[in-house]
Amino acid sequence: MGKSFRNSKFFGFMILAVMVLFFYAVFKFLSPSNFGSPANLFSYFQSSIIYSVGGCGLYFIVVMGLFDFAVGANIVLSSIVGVILSEKFGYAGFIVGCLGCGTLIGIIIGMLYNRLNVPSMIVTVGIMLILESVAVFAAGGVKQTLAPELRFFSGAPGNIILAFLAFALMWFILNYTRIGTYCNAIGSNEFTAKNMGIDVKKYKLIGFALLHFFVGIMAILTVSYGTTMTALTGMSTMSRNFQPLMGTFFGVAFRKYGNPISAIVIGEFIIAIIFNGFVALGAPTTIQNVVTGAALLAIVTLTARGGRGSVIK
């Protein structure tokens, strides 16, 4: 097999397809009646594309070597803001509320990160705690429910249309704007990127803003899918960060094949198959956390492992 084939988009896609088939076959074999019907698979796919949208957003900052733990908190806050505005302005309030709140939070995080000059993890953990409290205040301690007449995005085709619009936007940004190239350059070597004329701070800010714009889309899909959103405190939103992040890691791992978006989408689908496979087997729900943790470690090990002799901190 030639080196060029092993680096082709087709080869990368083939690896992902084989992974899908492998996990599908394993769980279908173990639980033939409860797992893997076409209807089940479509359901897994619909839930996975919500995380894929967040995964696409996270890709912009993860390729720059940054992290964001405020994603979950922003999903909750943006959903609540969107639902509150939808009560007065209908779909316009719902969409603008989610996207506007999400993006605004992203800009604030980016500005704080640039201004405070501390690691992104610390900034976003601090922001997460603040956003959780703001969400409780905004919701007034009450569960927010999306009106039944505003649930176009709760299922097919609305959720799929919106998600694919987000993927198309991501594809355009990565391939036809400077942002994609610059994010990759900054992730490769920030100092070099600066010397090549890239305004590193500006593009980090853009990265955070774009991430949280996608988080706004994810908020629309999340609250539409679940129909309600409850504000939580005590870092409870942290668990919402990891599933989109796993998709991002798939994207980072497969970007060398030139198709990070399909890797994010298929990667999230693989994770959904694993989750639902365990559920079909009757495994306790706590096993999901084990799967999340194990999958996170496995993906990070494969994608972010340092070279021989490198110092890992």
Partner 1 sequence: MPGKNILEMRGITIQFPGVKALDGVDFTLREGEIHSLLGENGAGKSTLIKCITGVNKKDSGTILLDGHEINPSGPNEAMSLGISTVFQEVNLCPNLSVAENIFVGRQPMKHGGIDWNEINKRAEELMNRFHLDIDVTRPLSYYSTAIQQMTSIARAVDVQAKVLILDEPTSSLDENEVQLLFSVMRELKASGMGIIFITHFLDQIYAVSDRMTILRNGHLIGTYNIDELGKVELVTKMVGKDMDVIFSLKRAEVSPDAPVMLKAEHIGDGSKIDDISLTVKRGELVGFAGLLGSGRTETAEMLFGAVKTVKGDIYLDGEKIEIKQPFDAIKSQLAFCPEDRKRDGIIGDLSIRENIMLAVQSRKGFMKPMTRQEQTELADKYIALLGIATPDCEKKAGELSGGNQQKVILARWIAASPKVLILDEPTRGIDIGAKAEIQRLMLEMCRDGVSVIFISSELDEIIRCSNRVIIMRDREKVAEVDGASCTQQDILRIIAEGAA
Nearest-approach distance from CB 256 to partner 1, in angstroms: 7
Phi then psi dihedrals of residue 79, to 5 deg: -60, -45
Residue number, 4 or 33, with CB nearest to partner 1: 4
Nearest-approach distance from CB 8 to partner 1, in angstroms: 12
Nearest-approach distance from CB 185 to partner 1, in angstroms: 5
Residue number, 136 or 263, with CB nearest to partner 1: 263
Residue number, 75 or 186, with CB nearest to partner 1: 186
CB 69 within 8 A of CB 121: yes
135 binds partner 1 (CB under 8 A): no
* 45, 169, 277 from 32: Cα distances, Å: 19, 38, 10
Residues 250-269 that bind partner 1 (CB under 8 A): 255-256
In 128-155, which positions are buried (b, 16+ CB within 10 angstroms) versus exposed (e)?
A: bbebbebbbebbeeeebebeeebbebbe
| x/- map, 152-181, partner 1, by CB under 8 A | --------------------x--xxxx--x
Phi then psi dihedrals of residue 111, to 5 deg: -65, -45
Residue number, 4 or 117, with CB nearest to partner 1: 4
The secondary element (H helix, E strand) that includes residue 229 is: strand 228-229
Nearest-approach distance from CB 40 to partner 1, in angstroms: 38
| x/- map, 182-221, partner 1, by CB under 8 A | x-xx-xxx--xx-xxxx-----------------------
Nearest-approach distance from CB 182 to partner 1, in angstroms: 7
Nearest-approach distance from CB 252 to partner 1, in angstroms: 10
Residue number, 81 or 186, with CB nearest to partner 1: 186
Number of residues that bind partner 1 (CB under 8 A): 21
Nearest-approach distance from CB 61 to partner 1, in angstroms: 16
312: left (phi over 0), alpha (psi -120 to 50) or beta: beta
Residue number, 186 or 270, with CB nearest to partner 1: 186
Nearest-approach distance from CB 198 to partner 1, in angstroms: 5
Residue number, 188 or 301, with CB nearest to partner 1: 188
Kindly tell me the sign of the dihedral angle through the C-alpha atoms of 141, 94, 223, 220.
Answer: negative
Q: Kindly give, in sequence order, each residue whose CB lies less than 8 Å from that of residue 200, ignoring residues fewer than 6 positions away.
A: 186, 190, 193, 194
* 8, 254, 303, 305, 307 from 3: Cα distances, Å: 9, 16, 20, 22, 21
For 184, how many CA atoms within 13 A lie in the half-sphere containing its CB? 13
Find, among 171, 98, 140, 117, the residue nearest to 89 by Cα: 98
* Cis before 284? omega within 30: no
Find, among 224, 196, 264, 220, the residue nearest to 55 by Cα: 264
Residue ranges in contact with partner 1 by CB under 8 A = 7, 172, 175-178, 181-182, 184-185, 187-189, 192-193, 195-198, 255-256
